[in-house]
Amino acid sequence: MGWWLRLCWCLLVVIMLEGGHADGGEVTYDGRSLIINGQRQVLLSGSIHYPRSTPQMWPSLIAKAKEGGLDVIQTYVFWNLHEPNPGQYVFSGNYDLVQFIKEIQKQGLYVSLRIGPFIESEWNYGGFPFWLHDVPGIVYRSDNEPFKFYMQNFTTKIVNLMKSEGLYASQGGPIILSQIENEYQNVEPAFHEKGPPYVLWAANMAVGLQTGVPWVMCKQQDAPDPVINACNGLRCGETFAGPNSPNKPSLWTENWTSNYQVYGKGPIMRSAEDIAFHVALFIARNGSFVNYYMYHGGTNFGRTSSSYVIAAYYDQAPLDEYGLKRQPKWGHLKELHAAIKLCSTTLLQGTQTKFPLGTQQEAIVFEENTGGCAAFLINNDTHNNAIVQFRNISFQLLPKSISILPDCKIVAFNTATVKKKFNNRIMTPVQTFDLANSWKEFNDVVVNFGDTSLKSNRLPEQTSTTKDKSDYLWYTLR
């Protein structure tokens, strides 16, 4: 089938499916991909965190992600928001996880739910509620009975909530993937002999909750079966050692679209071309799930961000802090996704071969017995164009680029060819504080030394004293 004919067919399918639902079913996996309702899937995902936006924004954010060619929305679950006190739960307003997931389902996308419950995410206390700090004998993220008790309790709470709402794909819902723990291998050596048994316990605990969908551990190369080990980073097509079993698929849970910004530093930039190159490379090397972290970063409201992280989170993502499309990143990735989807069947069913086209050039080709063919022509030279011969056709490859040929003949997309122009964000003041009555004065009450009940012969430790309710602590010394 010619490339243009395949494109028209794909456009027809998109039109026919518009307004449909990504209803779930049985979710399994093999060494090639996740399998949903018996069908292998190449899945493109984006992180959108519900508490970093508002419920009024959720429909628009999800719609723009879908328009951009995504299949999945990924989010963490924020323990300290949902259980501010032991056994007291909050799932309303900006914290309405169920409403957020149902909106994703309504718009026909899947969900990847990263329960953690340690999430990092440049979030206050890594997502842990501060009251854990006062549990006697607790050691976080370790083979420690007090910690495991509360971690299992919260994880079970979230899983049961999802089950009660019928949100797992095994129940017909949109959740196709769950995550337990988060980049633990980075810190595991610090826990010595208490680290490995904790990993095994966390995996077994999660699987034992019987969600009916696979579990993943990111940056955990020894993730115990049947949990899938996944990659986080900028260049997982180059750095990922791969699944730790031939029966597991290659998943990229965090493809960093920029980075978080800290006070005193400028924004971290990552080009659309660089992101597209590494996504195409990961897919060409048998990757089948790529998640953009973040697709929409949003806002760290109140005191939710970790130390030094500014309120605007991943403002350089494809959707900026306010949910506006950031070009050319959003549009370039949309074109990449369309090209990948043109050849997804061949990628999942074809036989892969690799061969050099030059000293720094390579072809990765997928071919089906039925005649389907897709090719990725790679130029790793960062400075020079390359002229290569592929199947008796001459192709010019731009520096550090990948050309995708859904029919092994015509280039549908080149990662370095950016057609979208940069756009500018225009801000218009809607309110000015230029009158005295526009301001209010707030006074802190300074307690007299003789009136306070909290006295010590040494300076009290900040967080133990404030219980994370304030960033400020008054000291009076006598």
Selecting among 254, 273, 321, 362, the annotated active-site residue is 254
Residue of 328, 326, 295, 325 whose CA lies nearest to 313: 295
Residue of 20, 21, 103 whose CA lies nearest to 57: 103
* 259 beta partners: none
Are 229 and 217 in contact, with CB atoms under 8 Å apart?
yes
For residue 29 the two structure tokens come to 């996996």
CA atoms within 13 A on the CB side of 86: 10
* 287 beta partners: 250
* 262 beta partners: 309
- Number of helices followed by number of strands (H, E) in the chain: 11, 18
Indicate if the alpha-carbon torsion angle 333, 336, 341, 342 is positive or negative.
positive
Return the SS3 of 432.
coil
* Sheet of strand 401-405: strand arrangement: 351-356, 361-367, 373-379, 401-405, 413-414
In the residue annotation, 183 being an active-site residue is answered as yes
Please give the biggest Cα pair distance in the chain.
91
Are 183 and 232 in contact, with CB atoms under 8 Å apart?
yes
* 406 beta partners: none
Which helix H or strand E contains 207, and what residues bound it? helix 195-208
For residue 429 the two structure tokens come to 């003041």
Dist. CA 63–CA 186, nearest whole Å: 35
Are 209 and 155 in contact, with CB atoms under 8 Å apart?
yes
Are 157 and 89 in contact, with CB atoms under 8 Å apart?
yes
In the residue annotation, 335 being an active-site residue is answered as no
Q: In whole angstroms, how far apart are CA 64 and each of 50, 136, 302?
A: 15, 46, 26
Dist. CA 372–CA 347, nearest whole Å: 9
| H-type alpha helices, 209-249 | 236-239
Which helix H or strand E contains 14, and what residues bound it? helix 3-17
**Residues acting as catalytic residues:** 183, 254
